[in-house]
C-alpha cells in the first residue's frame, strides 16, 4: 500500500503536470511526464520528458538536483530529506533508456510522490513497489484524473493498440462540407478557427486525410500557426506516386500510405469491416504514432464514425454560410461535451461515450473549463 498524499503535495503535482505539458506529438509514442524535487518544501530542481528516446522526466530533474547540490555546496546526504514529485509512476524496465527507479535509488532521495500509475504492462505499479520495498516513502495518487487525461493518447495505445483518434470537420450552416464541386471552394471556417485547428494538429502525432482531398484541395496540412512540431501526414488510399507539386510535400516528402481497408482491390472505397480499420491502426502504431487527427474527406471520416473508432470529435460551423448543395457533413453525436465560439464560428466538441462512462472517466467539468480557458482571448 502506498501512503495517502498530504495536502501540501497538490501544488507540486500541479506543477509537474504543467512541466509535462509539451505537445503530445513531441513525445509520441511515449507519455507526457513532468518531475520536480523539493527540499524543505521548496522546489530546487525540475525536469520533463522532451522527446521519445531522450531522458525521462525524473532523470532530468535528478540532473538539475545534482547541479543544485554542487552550486550550493550541499552534500549528497541531503537527498534523504528531499522529495521527488512526478506526474507518472517511474519506470522499472529497460526501454530506450534505463529504469528510472535505479537512478532514484542511487540518488538517495527519501520520498516519492506520484500522480498516477503507468499503464504500460511492464510497469503497472512495479516501479512504485520497487521504491517502497527499498524503504522509500511513496505517496499518491494525486490529481490522478488530470494526469491520466493528459496521457490519454499513451493509454489508448497501450490498452487498445490503436492511436487516440480525433475527428475534425468544418461545416456550413446548412450542413455541407463543401459546395460539391471539384477543388477546395471558399473556406468555411474563419481565421480564429484555423489557428485552433493548427493547435489540434500540433497535439496529434499524425494527420490523416483521404487521397482525394489531398489531390483536389492540395492543402498544406501543417501546424504553422501554432508552431512545431508538425504532425506526420498519413493518406487514406494509396495514390503513389504523389504529384511532386503537392504543397504537403514541402514538409512531408514521404506521406504514409494507408491503403483503403478492403478485401476487394477494385473497390476504391472503404468497407465496413472493423478488421479493415485495424490495419490502419497497425500502420500508425508501428510508426510510433499514438494519436491521429482525421481531417476528411467525408468517406474517411465516415469510416471511423461507422466503426466507433474515435475518441474526440471537433466540429466547426460557419453559421452564416449556406451552400444549398455539396457533400453532406457527417451526423454529430447527441450531446456535445463543450459548445462555444471560435471567432465568428460555432464550435462543438464531443467525447466518445466510452470515455464518459468508463471506469477512469475524466472529470468533465475540468475538461469544459479547460476548453473555456484555452478559447478565452488572452
C-alpha cell at 363: 472529470
DSSP 241-268: SPPTT-GGGGT-SSPEEE--S-S-TT--
Give the count of residues interacting with ligand AOF (CB under 6 A): 17
> How many Cβ atoms from other residues are within 10 Å of residue 330's Cβ?
20
Task: Specify the residue, 26 or 316, whose C-beta has the smaller distance to ligand AOF.
Answer: 26
| Nearest approach, Cβ of residue 372 and ligand AOF (Å) | 29
Q: Pick from 13, 26, 33, 214: which binds ligand AOF (CB under 6 A)?
A: 33
Stretch that binds ligand AOF, among 93-101, 212-220, 231-239, 364-372 (CB under 6 A): 93-101
Q: Pick from 15, 56, 126, 230: which binds Zn ion (CB under 5 A)? A: 56
Q: Which residue has the cell 464550435?
A: 347
Give the C-alpha separation, 280 to 263, whole Å: 14
Q: Which does 88 bind (CB under 5 to 8 A by kind): ligand AOF, Zn ion, none?
A: ligand AOF
Q: Which of 37, 61, 69, 100 binds Zn ion (CB under 5 A)?
A: 100
The CA distance from 201 to 227, in Å, is 10
- For ligand AOF, the closer of residues 120 and 162 by Cβ is 120
**Contact status: 123 vs Zn ion (CB under 5 A):** no
Distance (Å, rounded) from C-alpha 79 to C-alpha 37?
10
Residue-wise burial string across 76-87, b where 16 or more C-beta atoms lie within 10 A, e elsewhere:
eebbeebbbbbb
Q: In what order do the strands lie in the sheet containing 291-294?
A: 256-258, 232-236, 206-210, 291-294, 164-172, 312-318, 345-351, 338-342
Give the C-alpha separation, 51 to 55, whole Å. Answer: 8
| CB 161, min distance to ligand AOF, A | 13
Would you give the binding string for Zn ion spanning residues 76-95, x where CB under 5 A is met? ---------------x----
Residue 33 near which of Zn ion, ligand AOF, none (CB within 5-8 Å, type-dependent)? ligand AOF
The β-bridge partners of 257 are: 235
How many whole angstroms separate alpha carbon 55 and alpha carbon 167?
A: 32
In the chain, what is the greatest distance between 2 CA atoms, to the nearest angstrom?
75
Shortest Cβ distance from residue 32 to ligand AOF (Å)? Answer: 8
Pick 91 or 188: Cβ nearer Zn ion: 91
* Spatial distance between the Cα atoms of 31 and 290, rounded to a whole number of angstroms: 10
Separation in Å, CA 355 to CA 8, 211, 287, 351, 363? 30, 30, 25, 7, 10
Of the candidates 18, 46, 58, 144, the residue annotated as catalytic is 58
The correct pick among 97, 279, 306, 360 for binding ligand AOF (CB under 6 A) is 97
Which of 1, 7, 42, 96 is close enough to bind ligand AOF by CB under 6 A? 96
- Member of 88, 170, 226, 248 binding ligand AOF (CB under 6 A): 88
Residues 111-140 that bind ligand AOF (CB under 6 A): 118, 120, 123
The helix (run of H) or strand (run of E) holding residue 375 is: helix 364-375
Pattern 175-194, binding to ligand AOF, x per CB under 6 A?
--------------------
Asked if 58 is an active-site residue, the reply is yes
Which residue ranges make up the site for ligand AOF (CB under 6 A)?
A: 30-31, 33, 49, 56-58, 88, 90-91, 95-97, 100, 118, 120, 123
Which residue ranges make up the site for Zn ion (CB under 5 A)?
A: 56, 91, 100
Query: Annotated active-site positions, please?
Result: 58
Amino acid at each position: 500500500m502506498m501512503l495517502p498524499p498530504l495536502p501540501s503535495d497538490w501544488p507540486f503535482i500541479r506543477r509537474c503536470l504543467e512541466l509535462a505539458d509539451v505537445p503530445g506529438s513531441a513525445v509520441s509514442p511515449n507519455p507526457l511526464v513532468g518531475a520536480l524535487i523539493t527540499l524543505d518544501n521548496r522546489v530546487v530542481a525540475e525536469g520533463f520528458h522532451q522527446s521519445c528516446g531522450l531522458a525521462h522526466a525524473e532523470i532530468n530533474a535528478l540532473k538539475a538536483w545534482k547541479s543544485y547540490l554542487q552550486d550550493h555546496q550541499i552534500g549528497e546526504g541531503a537527498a534523504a530529506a528531499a522529495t521527488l514529485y512526478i506526474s507518472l509512476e517511474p519506470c522499472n524496465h529497460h526501454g530506450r533508456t534505463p529504469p528510472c527507479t535505479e537512478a532514484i535509488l542511487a540518488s538517495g532521495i527519501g520520498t516519492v510522490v506520484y500522480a498516477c500509475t503507468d499503464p504500460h504492462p511492464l510497469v503497472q505499479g512495479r516501479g512504485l513497489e520497487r521504491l517502497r520495498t527499498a524503504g522509500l516513502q511513496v505517496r499518491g495518487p494525486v490529481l490522478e484524473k488530470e494526469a491520466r487525461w493528459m496521457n490519454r493518447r499513451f493509454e489508448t495505445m497501450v490498452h487498445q493498440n490503436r492511436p487516440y483518434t480525433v475527428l475534425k470537420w468544418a461545416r456550413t450552416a446548412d450542413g455541407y462540407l463543401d459546395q460539391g464541386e471539384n477543388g477546395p471552394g471558399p473556406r468555411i471556417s474563419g481565421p480564429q478557427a484555423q489557428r485552433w485547428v493548427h493547435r489540434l494538429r500540433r497535439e496529434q502525432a499524425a494527420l490523416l486525410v483521404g487521397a482525394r482531398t489531398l489531390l483536389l484541395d492540395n492543402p498544406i496540412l501543417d501546424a504553422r500557426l501554432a508552431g512545431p512540431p508538425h504532425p506526420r501526414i498519413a493518406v487514406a488510399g494509396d495514390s503513389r506516386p504523389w504529384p511532386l507539386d503537392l504543397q504537403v510535400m514541402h514538409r512531408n516528402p514521404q506521406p504514409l500510405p494507408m491503403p483503403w481497408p478492403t478485401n476487394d482491390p477494385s473497390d476504391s472505397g472503404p468497407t465496413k469491416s472493423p478488421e479493415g480499420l485495424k490495419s490502419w491502426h497497425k500502420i500508425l502504431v508501428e510508426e510510433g504514432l499514438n494519436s491521429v487527427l482525421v481531417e476528411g474527406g467525408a468517406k474517411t471520416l465516415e469510416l471511423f464514425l461507422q466503426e466507433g473508432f474515435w475518441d474526440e470529435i471537433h466540429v466547426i460551423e460557419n453559421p452564416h454560410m449556406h451552400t444549398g448543395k455539396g457533400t453532406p457533413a457527417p451526423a454529430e453525436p447527441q450531446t456535445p461535451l463543450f459548445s462555444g465560439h471560435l471567432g465568428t464560428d460555432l464550435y462543438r466538441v464531443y467525447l466518445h461515450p466510452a470515455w464518459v462512462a468508463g471506469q477512469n472517466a475524466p472529470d468533465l467539468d475540468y475538461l469544459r473549463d479547460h476548453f473555456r480557458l484555452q478559447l478565452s482571448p488572452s
